[in-house]
Amino acid sequence: MTRLSVNINKVALLRNSRGSNLPNLIKVARDCESFGAEGITVHPRPDERHVRYADIAPLRSICTTEFNIEGYPNEKFLNLVLANPPVQCTLVPDDPDQLTSDHGWDTITHESFLSSTISRLQAAGIRVSIFMDPVDRLIEGAKRVGADRIEFYTGPYAEQYKENREQACAPYIAAAHLANGLGLGINAGHDLNLENLSYFKNNIPRLLEVSIGHALISDALYFGLKNTIQMYLRQLQ
């Protein structure tokens, strides 16, 4: 089965909007796991508008499933990750003021930077995934820089899904076959939801993990968090 990692950034955003501890991020993370989530994902950004740097240590201490920290690997981020080693670190090529992740790494242009960064994290026993578009030469580059996994940026798939889901998924299927042949694990995330998740999962060979936050937390407003997590898990069966 493909694992479901719940991104709790939007829960932190709601908490931060009132300057209090409601909702309690630690409790939500615990509850997500008890409701069936197989991982917790966080993406601390430089402006800390979502998950804060100070949240990482307490979250890591209570997480009993797979803890995944996403982010752009500047020195501050790397020091945070190395001080609180997760199971997985997902490297994302975000600009400091970027609203949300919207493209994958150019593994050719940034080959040297990624190679040294990945080696540094792996030396601490951390599995490294890098955010990727479904482009063959860049996925081949992901292998060269030493990544353990790639995480497909699925925004374009989600955007095109209603118009032509077969066409939307085709580049990811081809890229997945290449990644599998290279020995790279495959994760996916961004704009996956209850409508488009099952089709993606059923067509991507050896999809190991999806990370879902915005859509899942939005659905939870209507269906409740426990029920929503179960609904997403059913899409992955």
Number of Cα atoms under 13 Å in the Cβ half of residue 84:
20
> How far is residue 48's CA from residue 66's CA, in Å, rounded to a whole number?
22
Please answer whether residues 41 and 7 qualify as being in contact, where contact means their C-beta atoms are separated by less than 8 angstroms.
Answer: yes
Give the residue numbers marked as catalytic. 43, 70, 190
* Token code pair at residue 193: 């939801």
Length of the chain: 237
DSSP string, 170-223: HHHHHHHHHHHHHT-EEEEESS--TTTHHHHHHHSTTEEEEEE-HHHHHHHHHH
